[in-house]
Structure 1
Amino acid sequence: MANPIPVLDSDEEVQYIKKANSIQFGVNNNDDNKDFYARRARRDNVIGPWQPCEMLKMVENVDKSNEKLFIVRYYRDLHKKDVPEYELASRKIPKPVELPIGTRIIARRRSDILPYLIDESGQKILTLYSTDTQYYPAIVASFYDQRFMVFFDDGVVQLTKLKYIRRVLGNTRFDHAHWNAKSYFEWFLKQPHRLEVKDPEIGMDLKVELNGSNENAKVLKVEHSLAHIYFEKQNRYEWIYLGSPRITRVYRELIKQKKLDDLIDFKTFKTCLSAADDIVLIDPVDEPEETNVEIDEIGPATASRATKAPKTHKCSHECVQFEDKIKLGDYSILQRPFATGWHRNVNKKVIYRAPCGLSLQNIKSVHKYLTNTDSKLNVNSFEFNKNCEIAPIDTDTAKDTVKPKDISHGMENLPVTICGEMTSVSFNYTKDYKFDYIDEEPTNNLGRTGCDCTDCSDKSRCSCFQLTIERLMGKYPSKHELDKSGEIGYDYMKLKKIVKTGIVECGENCNCCAEKCLNRVVQNGLQHKLELFLTDSKGWGVRATTDIPEGVFVCIYSGDILHDNKVTDKRTTLYQFRLPSFPIDQEFDADSDSDSDGEPDSKRLRDGSDDVIQPFISYFPTFMRIGNAQHFPDSEDYKSHGYIIDALHNGNFSRFINHSCDANLFAQAAYIKDDKRFPSIAFFSSQLIKAGEELTIDYNYETVKKGAEGQTRCQCGTAKCRKWLF
């Protein structure tokens, strides 16, 4: 993260501007005109022009909100669409009294005020697309000499005559502005006075933020509160508001006067749990009856098997001090509580009894208890599915003189044993990727700056989790969107569903505790005991030797990294896994609604299109930390080079996991290191896997008819078997 700009003791380069008086708002409710403008694009990474339409009728809003809903028909293609009131604008020219500062509008914007670059041949290249006849969403920012200063959602600013403005219905101000500008609009409209550059002159030199760094710019022209500036190094021209926080002298004065305190904090954030007046019983429950209760064995003979009655006390590390004497790595992940004095009572539901006697009946209460007692255990050692059986600890294991062969040669956290003799398979065991067959070296291009959490239990404050959401949504998430994204990514170290654009785990630059972090899962390695065995018809396979809960990490797929179009020596595709090929900044949402021609959302400009595609112009500096997350500038877009993982010569035990049309594992890309081209391919359990059950993954082979060239008969034997695959 970039350091904040130093604050000077005296700075007379900016001045206060008296805010224009608000004008009372008035609306003509007797307007029977059916001609309107309506928003057309629904994709969140697109700011499209609003198009002329006819209002057909008002309909009932099924979500029971207070917003009115209308059916409109666009004149251009007669397409019908349900449009909320805040996505409709009158086609009549408004009166000045209807346009107080902050009013939500659409305005025609001149193509000559758009940012542009000059290439080596002297050709002018627009960074955003628009025509002089189209209306784009904006707000009224000020009023000068019969012209309105307009801030558009995509960051463009201009002075506009009244006849080129149309008012949005509902007077929602910034409530429904695009995410690129909403936080700035809200902040701007709350300022009692405005700070702007003092006495701007043509030829003045300014420092202005561009793509995350402060660059030299020269003022070419000034119109009231707007300046046309030129970035010599980038050969870029742009109009900018003279009170923009992107201007260094404005930004540092705002910092000095604490005008950005509600949005920005450069101090270290910590997730703090209150220790005062700690509760005695965490989610207390009735004492379970002794009859018809299964009590799983708790392990070492030194741990009492009797359930202690809970006593009033303040929980501390003394409650779990027995675990200090235990080497937790000697036990599988779900057995560790038993080895440290915990009980797991299974009746109608699962109840964990802590060593000090407290009853905990859900994972949230367990997490709080582990935090308050500074326990070495983490939440992935606890399972509340009563159908998941946890094997008792075998105290005689250490006495075994003959240990089964470990195919990983001690590289994994737990031995991966072999049932039988493996004589016909030869490969080198590796836990990670090997890059011997490509010229590229892994680089740091992910944009992960490191979070400031303690255990990352508060997703809204973890910048790594926010980067996961940003990649999935194709945009920087608002606080409301973060609050609604609880089911995305890890939930107490379990994964409920695939995150299509990958999960960004916390890394070495994060301040969170690696042992307690809830956003470090794949990097923790193998946690469940597995075994290789010889199947009846599919060769070698992998099976669980203990129950594996649903949604937990099982293993990764490792091997050589190859270019998919440049396979070296004689390779077979039997052990190949293709890496995902999406760029990090692209939106991926198969369920998103769009009225486009079906082309995928991407960051390109389409000639003749109605769409304004990213990158947008940020109103705030891109290095500003907002909501304890970082806006990452659009630097080089590392598009897919087409890589595959090949485990023919180098790999781990996952190379033996067989295909099934009804698999019990699913693949998830996870970013452990900082090169977004090479995410780890992690396998998670899609259901409860019982001890002795084979692990399977759907290879996603194409289904073909019998007799097709290249066909393979599927051997999975499940009810969903697709029979013939290619």
Structure 2
Amino acid sequence: KLVQMVCKPSSQAMTQPNPNMTEDELKVGMNILGKKRTKTWHRGTLVAINPVGNGVFKYKVKFDKGKSLLSGNHVAFDYNPTLESLYVGARVVARYKDGNLVWLYAGIVAEMPNNKNRMRFLIFFDDGYASYVTLPELYPVCRPLKRTWEDIEDASCRDFIEEYITAYPSRPMVLLKVGQIIKTEWEGTWWKSKVEEVDGSLVKILFLDDKRSEWIYRGSTRLEPMFNLKMTTANAQEKKLAGQQRTRPNMGALRSKGPVVQYTSDCHVGASPVKSPQAPPTQPSPSPQHQQPQQPQQPQQPQQPHGRILSPPNTPTSLFTQQFQRQLPSLPPGPPAITHAMASIPHQPSYRAPTDRIFYLVHTCQPACLNRVRPAIPDMHRGKNPLLTPLLYDFRRMTGRRKVNRKMSFHVIYKAPCGLCLRNMAEIQHYLFQTRCDFIFLEMFCLDPYVLVDRPFQPQRPFYYIPDITSGKEDIPLSCVNEIDSTAPPQVAYSKERIPEGGVSINTSADFLVGCDCTDGCRDKSKCSCHQLTLQATGCTPGGQINSSAGYLHKRLEECLPTGIYECNKRCKCCAQMCTNRLVQHGLQVRLQLFKTQNKGWGIRCLDDVAKGSFVCIYAGKILTDDFADKEGLEMGDEYFANLDHIESVENFKEGYESEAHSQSPSSSGDSNDDEDKDSKSEEESDSSDDTFVKENYYSSSSVWRSYTTRGQVKGNKEGELLSNQTSRLWAERLSKDLRGLYRKFQDCVSLTVSGLSGVTKKQVAVKSTRGIALKTRGDNTPSKNTRLFFDGEESCYIIDAKLEGNLGRYLNHSCSPNLFVQNVFVDTHDLRFPWVAFFASKRIRAGTELTWDYNYEVGSVEGKVLLCCCGSTECRGRLL
């Protein structure tokens, strides 16, 4: 369910002093700390208190050498404060360790002790450093200013602290893991660096060029993902002025694995959840999440106090309710439901492997090898687990193990009915063509030993059950269960195909398609015209290099291809069943189920194990023009809208180019926890001159983005000489008016989008990754080229709306660690504006697991709207908008 968290009372309470605490008294003769001109604090004795009017006093402090007349905010008590007197934003003096030296510097409390930071205080020092300290290392400032940040002399640091305290407890920080590669700013230049250690909100960065180490606050804009987030916020302001704000999922290439910005919040302390209305949704929600229409005859179930967070509604309830009720009568009646009292889910008999052995006799395989198992009806096993189908035709799937270099590994081989052993996918493919097998297909075989073909998921006596919500429109039945309550799914006109609405013209004529003349099942990519379209399109990526391995590999897609996949079509002369370049057009193959989640409404889960790279389903619905979508979104809600932004994705991919984005080394994808990556080698740290640093002309160390001149820092210092392991340099700048103006000046040259993850990434993930500082200083305002303008001057992409009519893709929920990725596929037209939106498995998925994908929203793209994410992932970014 969608809930809204109100954090303001909690935020104010956590950043204000305790009203029950009284100020300690200052007395002549007591020992105190005073601030000298060197910005360091020293011990002294209070010798006089001089009033200056309006209740303000000056304090005369005698040091070992000399005397000073100081304000109340420049003297501190020479004893440790109580925990009750401290709060986020409290003004303190803290010990700063620089090698063997210990100094006293002023700062503010940025974090209170908790389990995550091992019961320490995070201090932001006035000169831009950050450090974790303990209570015995703190001294309270005697008479701090009410707005504590006004005591900071450095303007950029002061602005950062003000923004930090104002936004607290919402704190965007880069989610990092040891070993990840990330770009870090130093002396006005972006340097390739590596994460050595993470300590709470601090990260130890190793600069690969000169092997320096430095501790940095994870919310610093010196880290490229944070910098990109700042630039995205500025970009959102421009979009708002231009009226181009959208809160729809982007159906282009997904974001990369790698460093992402995570929003941490302590809202649960003193916060109260404001539940979404139980009536039909009144707000265009940006997530394709089910909003159930009101049903007076059934009691409403209470909303869960956790889940996705939605901003307040802005659409009149009555208007949406009238529109929704006006649409409902046109919907066809849903399939009959079976309640818990009527019947239970039919039990699927488990597969029993034959016990007899198959012996191989030397022969040349031919169609006769499968004569004894060749069925009279090719689809006799349709509706069962596709990975189990070969076994039902007397193929044997055997798992073996072997020990190499003292490491045990498992492997799978298939044995054909004629006794031939098939050891890899190439041999399986060759065998299927040799025997002219037109009833078992390549995607039904899986050599992953961790994918079990006979592990079906069986729900336990649900309160609500529908055998097939598609009423036979899908080739595979899509069942529906509710194990939470007896609530029925929403009324939706099911359609497995896209439906063009008014103003949308999709030319599907064969005369406008490129076809192939293949007779070998399109196995030779060099001779297949459709394969060549896929390969040649990869040349549109930065660098213009053609990826000769792009496209399907044995009917599976290992990773997203930003430039799209061109499948064989009705103009092609290849066999539709045997072609290796036809997959998405065959429709739903895996067994899925619509189910009621605990706190996210309705979702989709798989009933069998799904192999990595397998095609799952498409996202279908009405195709709307952008103008009509805006109008319908205001009236009906836009929670099921998705952009057909293939053109924009590829263009942003090219504009956001970085030299290392093409790296295909294991380090390019960050850290992966997949089982299949356990044997991968460690990351290589070899650098080229292009990868090491990128220097921008307009960006210098003297700008507002400069690195602070701070104590004890010498360029080139070794790791042990630079900082202790608890000290960081805080890059505390905020976007200045000058930079915003510079950004507006060059926005026509560079498209800035959110990049929660930059750095060294695989090819497909740079689509939404743009380094914000990649702005040129040349005065020529070269207009950006927009491919969409060639289509009769169109300026906006088309929209898929699956609210009242669509397929199962509308129920797929969001996750920051998804198990599906989006791929644009061209099937019935080669018009770049109208690809099919397909979902593929990004990892192996166990039976019963919910299927999710990354909605790919741009955080900060809608000013004033905050959509928190509660997907529950260990890599949750905390926010969607």
Q: How high is the TM-score relative to the length of structure 1? A: 0.49
From the two aligned structures, give the one with the greater helix fraction: 2
- Larger RCO: Structure 1 or Structure 2 (Cα < 8 Å, ≥ 6 residues apart)? 2
Q: How high is the TM-score relative to the length of structure 2? A: 0.41
